[in-house]
Structure 1
Amino acid sequence: MTAFETEKSRAAAWFRQLRDDIVAAFEALEDSHDAGPLTDMAPGRFEVTDTKRTSDDGSDAGGGLMSVMRGGRVFEKVGVNVSQVYGTLGERAQKAMAARGVPGMADDPRFWASGISLVAHMQNPHCPAVHMNTRMFWTPGAWWFGGGSDLNPCLEYDEDTAHFHATQKAHLDPHGEEIYPKLKAWADEYFYIPHRHRARGVGGIFMDDRNTGDWEADFALTQDIGRAFLPAYVPLVEKRRADPWGEAEKDAQLVHRGLYAEYNLVYDRGTKFGLETGHDANAVLMSLPPLAKWI
């Protein structure tokens, strides 16, 4: 096995382990919800589906696991997907990669990609929605890591935002104190909705095209972005899930979900890449909320 094959295997295994940890933690939140709204419902559980990707000639091109919980006591809809796909990039994807400075696309458009992608939409409007993903991408001419996580509350609480950011900073600071401010600023820029002139949430961290030349260091940073997620997010759900809500709060939640849907369909790189490379459309669009509204 070549060095790159070993690294690909390690990255894919890490994303799968992170998926397993998050699924277990979210089902535990469902089980422990014993006060406040919706406690009379059965605890939610993830439905797990294999996803498959085929190349233009019908040959196997990878796939993954789509894990979705709908109608839980805490989570109205949450998806935690992992994938490992490979093949040849189509012309549009090649041009997009070349525009980002990926070398060799015209000569050898083969690729391999693996990652985890998560979006949670909550029953209680006081609980923030959240997004997280990490990934590794490889072509014969380059490799890189990307991802991050950001908080998307419809009802903002300053102390929740502070906790989310402080936890991420604590996990990233061992990699250099300059990393967190850089990735925070990148998230503020990336998760912005130009046609609404506003951010889609209260920010987080984000990186893309991470290749310092030190694969181990970049992989370690990517792992700590993933490790930061549960301690940054779960305490916020535990704090807010029993809060009462009414029609006004639910309406605010549905309107905010409209913003989230607009961003994901118009601007999100992962959505565009998944659809352009022929990945399972249900898995790619898993991030969309179950209900939303526009005014």
Structure 2
Amino acid sequence: MTTDVAEPMDTEKSRAAGWFRELRDEIVAAFERLEEAPGTGPVADLPPGRFEVTETTRQSDDGSDAGGGLMSVMRGGRVFEKVGVNVSTVFGHLGPAAQKAMAARGVPGMESDPRFWASGISLVAHMQNPHAPAVHMNTRMFWTPHAWWFGGGSDLNPCIEYPDDTAHFHATQKAHLDPHGAAFYPKLKAWADEYFFIPHRGRARGVGGIFMDDHHSGDWEADFALTRDIGRAFLPAYLPLVEKRRETPWTEGDKEIQLVHRGLYAEYNLVYDRGTKFGLTTGHDANAVLMSLPPMAKWI
């Protein structure tokens, strides 16, 4: 990635940040509607879950404002045991470690001008019912004076896999990506398979999805449109699976499988996830960065 951007791209940044907030609002509303539907399972008597919304802030090394966002977390609902939907827009100067990481990714000139701007949405859902799949989604835009790019995707993380659920999730993503070119879906699917792999376990953390990073074709409008469609694919890919599985009876053995699988998920996010590392090293709110961790997990 060597682009020599130079211009501030204020209009483009505003449009991207606005889209991430719009997508956040749509997802939060959809998840709260799911909680309203009556159920008959072990958690049916719980009140419908609601998101608790907290403003997050980031401060630069000198204490000045460096952006922030909204952390929206629902705990103990009928459908979602824990789900977080975060949006943020942060800016400032990258520290030496982050500069080195950017240089390794092919971004030139960070030593002389380490300014950055980043905005995005990040979502992780952990379910009450072990038969309903956990899921992760994020999309983002990153800017420096020397380069800009988009990244993100979504991947499904069932602890009890249903092949038809996996097929629906992937088919919906493919349908949203194909208008941008037939090569995008297979490329982003293969990228997700590689990225969401846990080397020390020798396995994937879930059944995959789509993922991209450092995406810069040179055409900002085309890249932004692709990023929006990655986000638009999420609800139609995921909601039908939750609606289908939320009332499936489960056993203590099913719950045990879920807790052990969550341990796998936590391992990945703490050891390998690039977004977790970036958020913590750049001083963003630690609670927001670690929102992805499950409420309960187990290791055997």
| TM-score normalised according to structure 2 size | 0.97
Pair 1:6-2:11 in alignment: yes
Q: Distance in 2 between matches of 1:107 and 1:92?
A: 14
The one-letter code sitting in structure 2 at the alignment partner of 1:39 is: A
User: 2:3 corresponds to which residue?
Assistant: none
Tell me by how many angstroms 1:128 deviates: 0.3
Q: Distance in 2 between matches of 1:96 and 1:152?
A: 28
Q: 1:62 aligns with which of 60, 67, 72?
A: 67
CA deviation vs aligned residue, 1:189-229 (integer Å, no higher than 9, x gap): 00000000000000000000000000000000000000000
Pair 1:200-2:205 in alignment: yes
User: 1:79 corresponds to which residue?
Assistant: 84
Percent identity between matched residues is 83
User: 1:191 corresponds to which residue?
Assistant: 196
Q: 1:118 aligns with which of 120, 123, 126?
A: 123
User: 2:4 corresponds to which residue?
Assistant: none
Pair 1:238-2:243 in alignment: yes
User: 1:212 corresponds to which residue?
Assistant: 217
Pair 1:279-2:287 in alignment: no
Tell me by how many angstroms 1:107 deviates: 1.1
Q: Distance in 1 between matches of 2:90 and 2:40?
A: 42
Pair 1:180-2:173 in alignment: no
**In structure 2, do the counterparts of structure 1 residues 161 and 273 end up closer, same or farther at CA, with 3 Å as the change threshold?**
same
The one-letter code sitting in structure 2 at the alignment partner of 1:35 is: T
Pair 1:260-2:227 in alignment: no
The worse-fitting range, judged by mean Cα deviation, of 30-39 and 92-101 is 30-39
Matching of residues 122-141 of structure 1 within 5 Å: 122-141=127-146
User: 2:22 corresponds to which residue?
Assistant: 17
User: 2:46 corresponds to which residue?
Assistant: 41
CA contact under 8 A between 1:37 and 1:243: conserved in structure 2? no
Tell me by how many angstroms 1:3 deviates: 6.8
Tell me by how many angstroms 1:37 deviates: 3.2
User: 2:150 corresponds to which residue?
Assistant: 145
Q: Distance in 2 between matches of 1:49 and 1:189?
A: 34
Q: Distance in 2 between matches of 1:34 and 1:154?
A: 21
Q: Residue 207 of structure 1: SS of its match in structure 2?
A: strand
Which stretches of structure 1, 4 residues or more, deviate above 3 A after TM superposition?
A: none
For structure 2, which runs of at least 5 residues remain unmatched after alignment? 1-6
Tell me by how many angstroms 1:38 deviates: 1.5
The worse-fitting range, judged by mean Cα deviation, of 24-33 and 72-81 is 24-33
For structure 1, which runs of at least 5 residues remain unmatched after alignment? none
Tell me by how many angstroms 1:33 deviates: 3.5
CA contact under 8 A between 2:8 and 2:145: conserved in structure 1? no
User: 1:92 corresponds to which residue?
Assistant: 97
Q: Distance in 1 between matches of 2:196 and 2:170?
A: 15
CA contact under 8 A between 1:33 and 1:74: conserved in structure 2? no
The one-letter code sitting in structure 2 at the alignment partner of 1:83 is: S
Tell me by how many angstroms 1:36 deviates: 2.9
User: 1:162 corresponds to which residue?
Assistant: 167
Matched residue count: 294
CA contact under 8 A between 1:53 and 1:63: conserved in structure 2? yes
The one-letter code sitting in structure 1 at the alignment partner of 2:97 is: R
Pair 1:104-2:109 in alignment: yes
Tell me by how many angstroms 1:106 deviates: 1.1
CA contact under 8 A between 1:70 and 1:77: conserved in structure 2? yes
The one-letter code sitting in structure 2 at the alignment partner of 1:226 is: G
